[in-house]
Chains A and B, each alone.
Chain A
Amino acid sequence: MNIHEYQAKELLAKYVPAGKVAFTPEEAYQIAQDLRCTKLVVKAQIHAGGRGKGGGIKLANSPDEVRRIASEMLGMRLVTHQTGAEGKIVRKVLIEEASDIERELYLGVVIDRSTERIVLMASPEGGVEIEEIARTKPKKILKEYVDPALGLLPFQCRKIAYFLGLNGKTANKAVNLISGLYQAFVDNDCSLAEINPLVVTREGDVLALDVKLNFDDNALFRHPEIEKLRDPEEEDPTELEAKKWGLSYVKLNGNIGCLVNGAGLAMATMDIIKYYGSEPANFLDVGGGASTEQVTQAFKMILRDQNVKAVFVNIFGGIMKCDTIATGIITAAKEVGIKVPIVVRLEGTNVELGRKMLAESGLNITTGADMREAAAKAVAAAGGKLS
């Protein structure tokens, strides 16, 4: 799960510049007045990076100027390298005191899958993406791995602060910020906590100028307060709806809708469509069970996509009986009123009965004996290879 910068900053309140989020230009003006400072910054709140270059971060010298910038920014379609060409509509802006920046640093916390440890990454080269630093200046990154039994230790925070070239009181402040960020990561079950840039001001303060937090979806059950921060406007409505039904859906750009049980098989189904010369319209995992209700909902989602010219149903039922699955597919297809051809590959117990039921359903359903045959039929049904 992903949240906005202003929400992340509320979670890290001690280490961020003074500021507040505004939903209207008037609110922005009021916040700027209350901040009582001469240099301000207006920042578009969208779930994507690269906002500065796209015109989503602007400096202002007065509350009036803040109001003017906010009125331009609110409602605009912001395009960055992470939003895709369609961009994202700006619905709120963060008004902050602008910092007098001396240096920009990088600090991130992630889970390292190879070592199965939380790792802190720091670099004196802030303001650019960490992957860029890793590629061009790998020696400028320090990685500190955390023993889960001990947690992050003070010496590790000091090591990071000195590596960042900080000293004296500034180093002490950084140590607090580093341990604060780690604690926020652990307390909230984050999957990523990133401060980029982490700035050192001319007064020697250390501030998190931009904060990005991502959360482990598997742990949201113990953080209802984080779940509340979810911004439905930033998420794909179909993907959100899928979640409600226990389905996993990702929209793609092809013309063959996929309905599959199991994530690995669902990916493999997309791959085989491509292998036979076409493109998948979606990833869709109905889970191991594939109940009638889930299959019905899945069909509805797939068919909402106007690009879909055929649907490829690939179910490896295993323990599940194929006649039960066939009933589900037929019921769902009738209820939804499917116009496009459906190609079904079924495997499991009672497979012959299941195929017979599909063949005799009177619906536009073709069956494939195995994955290869079904994939080839689905590609043909959708109009053949794409050039």
Chain B
Amino acid sequence: MSILVNKDTRVVVQGITGSAGLFHATQCREYGTKVVGGVTPGKGGTEVEGFHVFNTALDAVKETKANTSLIFVPAPFAADAIVEAVDAGINLVVCITEGIPTLDMIKVKRYMEGKKARLIGPNCPGAMTPGEAKVGIMPGYIHLPGRIGVISRSGTLTYEAVWQLTNLGIGQSTCVGIGGDPVVGSTFIDVLKLFEKDNETDAVVLIGEIGGSAEEEAAEYIKKKFSKPVVAFIAGSTAPKGKRMGHAGAIISGSSGSAKDKIMALERAGIKVTPSPAEIGEAVKEVLS
């Protein structure tokens, strides 16, 4: 079954005529994802690399029956693009764009309240169900179809974890990068809820990092309501206070957001937290046996 993306996913790429948009649209299509078109205002009616381009998300949805949008629109215009996709009736919006102002995202989240559409990201690698659909910028070949769910705030660190699993012969049901910004479309808890209901996911790898309290909240949720085993890694144990570590959301402010607190909260919830990022795969193997 998997979550979020599968064989029925029909992707429209917003910002398809930009270099990143076009490159990754092509990569997704090569993996076997149904990329049914793209959107670039002003370039409607044209075609790039065999993709039909539309002026608006609504035109694209009407013509292609797209149910998913993948966004590469530059940061100043990305919040607008997310709302446009939701307004056009898209169910799943995956926003790759990095650098969207936080206040823009706060408005987007308010707009999405009560709507059935779901947002993944921004500032994320996307979502991927191995063997079925790749909706994002992750390398397809590192994945293996299987029964482990992966949720992460990071990009390349997610690839690292997935690669460790694949090398041990442990496949993944769906891998979701929720993004490294302070305000993201879907939280750990949102995605955990989906994995809980998915009967093709046996266990979950959760990769968190310093900043905010999303991991602490996830720990609380897992303790109370999540029935499957969880293995976690928290990046940033060696990060100094008050410094933004690359991601806009990865900052220890005052006394909150430290890796130590997050690890303690997860362990208190009975979750196995690996101290080394090189042992995520082995920890999963242990939990499964």
Q: Which A residues form the contact surface with B (CB < 8 A)? A: 111, 113-114, 116-118, 129, 131, 147-149, 186, 189, 191, 216-219, 221-222, 248, 250, 252, 260-275, 279-280, 283, 285, 288, 316-319, 347-349, 370-372, 375
Taken together as a complex, chains A and B put the C-alpha atoms of A298 and B255 apart, in Å, by 31
User: How near does chain B come to A326, taking the closest CB pair, in angstroms?
Assistant: 17
CA distance A329 to B278 in the complex (A): 23
Q: List 14 A-B contacts (CB under 8 A).
A: A111-B106, A216-B248, A218-B102, A248-B246, A264-B154, A267-B238, A267-B246, A271-B235, A272-B278, A274-B237, A280-B238, A283-B246, A285-B246, A318-B142
Contact between chains at B156 and A148 (CB < 8 Å): no
- Quick one: given A114-B217, A131-B255, A268-B235, are A275 and B240 in contact (CB under 8 Å)? no
> What CA separation (Å) do A264 and B179 show in the bound complex?
10
Instruction: Give the residues in chain B near A261, CB-CB below 8 Å.
Output: 156
Given contacts A267-B239, A288-B155, A349-B139, 12 further A-B contacts (CB under 8 A): A116-B109, A117-B106, A189-B101, A252-B238, A262-B154, A264-B153, A265-B160, A270-B239, A271-B277, A283-B243, A285-B246, A371-B277
B212 within 8 A of partner (CB): yes
B83 to chain A, nearest CB (A): 13
Are B159 and A131 within 8 A (Cβ)? no
B102 touches A263 (CB 8 A): no
Q: Which chain A residues border B250 with CB–CB below 8 Å?
A: 263-264, 267
Docked complex Cα distance between A59 and B151 (Å): 55
Is B106 a contact of A268 with CB atoms below 8 Å?
no
B110 nearest in chain A by CB position: A148
Q: Specify which of A114, A117, A131, A216 is in contact with B254 (CB 8 Å cutoff).
A: A131
In the assembled complex, the CB of A115 is this many whole angstroms from the nearest CB of chain B, namely 10
**Is the Cβ of A266 less than 8 Å from the Cβ of B102?**
no
> When chains A and B are docked, how far (Å) is the Cα of A347 from the Cα of B102?
33
**A113 adjacent to B27 (CB under 8 Å):** no
List residues 225-243 of chain B with CB under 8 A from any CB of chain A: 233, 235-240, 243
Known: A149-B110, A280-B238, A370-B278. A113 touches B183 (CB 8 A): yes
- Complex contact B163–A218 (CB within 8 A): no
Contact (Cβ within 8 A) B138 A318 = yes
- In the complex, the answer to whether A218 meets B254 with C-beta atoms within 8 Å is no
Bound state CA distance, A249 and B210, in angstroms? 16
Q: Which residues of A contact B65 (CB under 8 A)?
A: none
Given A219-B103, A288-B156, A348-B139, are A113 and B212 also a contact pair (CB < 8 Å)?
yes
User: Which residue of the partner chain, among B101, B141, B239, B276, contacts A218 with CB atoms under 8 Å?
Assistant: B101
A280–B141 CA distance with the chains assembled, in angstroms: 31
Report Cα–Cα, A167/B182, bound state, in Å: 37
Number of interface residues of B (CB under 8 A): 61
* Chain A residue with the shortest CB-CB distance to B275: A275
Task: Report chain B residues within 8 Å CB of A216.
Answer: 101-103, 248
Tell me the smallest distance from the CB of B111 to a CB of chain A, in Å.
8
Contacts A218-B99, A316-B160 given; does A268 touch B233 at CB 8 Å:
yes
A262 contacts B245, CB within 8 Å? no
Bound complex: CA A322 to CA B232 (Å): 29
Chain B residues, CB < 8 A from A111? 102-103, 106, 182-183
Complex: how many Å from CA A149 to CA B112?
A: 12
Residues of A within 8 A of B278 (CB): 272, 370-372, 375
In the complex, the answer to whether A266 meets B245 with C-beta atoms within 8 Å is: yes
B109 near A264 with CB under 8 A, answer: no
Cβ-closest chain B residue relative to A283:
B245
Q: Given that A268-B233, A371-B277 are contacting pairs, would A263 and B243 also be in contact in the complex, using a CB cutoff of 8 Å?
A: no
Is B180 part of the binding interface, using a Cβ–Cβ cutoff of 8 Å? yes
B17-56 near A? 1/0 per residue, CB < 8 Å: 0000000000100000000000000000000000000000
- Interface presence of B9 (CB below 8 A): no
On whether the beta carbons of A265 and B239 are closer than 8 Å, the reply is no
A252–B245 CA distance with the chains assembled, in angstroms:
12
Q: Please, how many angstroms separate the alpha-carbon atoms of A310 and B202 in the complex?
A: 41
Is B271 in the interface zone, CB < 8 Å from A? no
Q: Residue A268 contacts which of B160, B244, B255 (CB distance < 8 angstroms)? A: B160
Nearest-neighbour CB distance to chain A for B258, whole angstroms, equals 12
Q: Could you tell me if A263 and B154 are in contact, using CB atoms closer than 8 angstroms?
A: yes
Q: Are A265 and B157 also in contact (CB < 8 A) when A218-B102, A221-B76, A370-B278 are? A: yes
Are B248 and A217 within 8 A (Cβ)? yes
Asked if B75 lies at the interface with its beta carbon under 8 angstroms from chain A, I say yes
Contact with A along B113-156 (1 / 0, CB 8 A): 00000000000000000000000011101100000000011111
**Residue numbers in A under 8 Å from B217 (CB-CB):** 114
The answer to whether B238 and A270 have CB atoms under 8 Å apart is yes
Q: Does B15 contact A (CB under 8 A)?
A: no
Kindly list the 8 A-B residue pairs having the minimum CB-CB distance in the complex, ordered from nearest.
A264-B154, A263-B246, A262-B156, A264-B157, A318-B139, A219-B101, A372-B278, A268-B277
User: Which of A131, A271, A347, A349 gathers the greatest number of chain B CB atoms within 10 Å?
Assistant: A271
**B110–A275 CB distance below 8 A:** no
Name the one of B105, B154, B160, B255 contacting A371, with C-beta atoms under 8 angstroms. Answer: B160
CB atoms of A252 and B142 under 8 A apart: no
Please report the C-alpha to C-alpha distance between residue A270 and residue B254 in the assembled complex, in whole angstroms: 21
**Docked pose: A333 CA to B254 CA in angstroms:** 39
Asked if B283 is at the interface (CB within 8 A of a chain A CB), the reply is no
Docked CA distance A283–B183 (Å): 23
- Is B213 an interface residue, CB under 8 A from the partner? yes
Would you give the shortest CB distance from A371 to chain B, in whole angstroms?
4
Q: Which B residues are in CB contact (< 8 Å) with A260? A: 156
Closest-by-CB residue of B relative to A284 is: B246
Q: Please tell me if the beta carbons of A275 and B244 are within 8 angstroms of each other in the complex.
A: no
What residue of chain B has the Cβ atom nearest to residue A269's Cβ?
B277
Q: Could you say which residues of chain A place their CB within 8 Å of the CB of B182?
A: 111, 113
State the Cβ distance, B144 to closest chain A Cβ, in Å: 15
Q: Which residues of A contact B244 (CB under 8 A)?
A: 217, 248
Is there contact, CB below 8 Å, between A272 and B277?
A: yes
- What is the CA–CA distance of A349 and B27 in the complex, to the nearest angstrom? 14
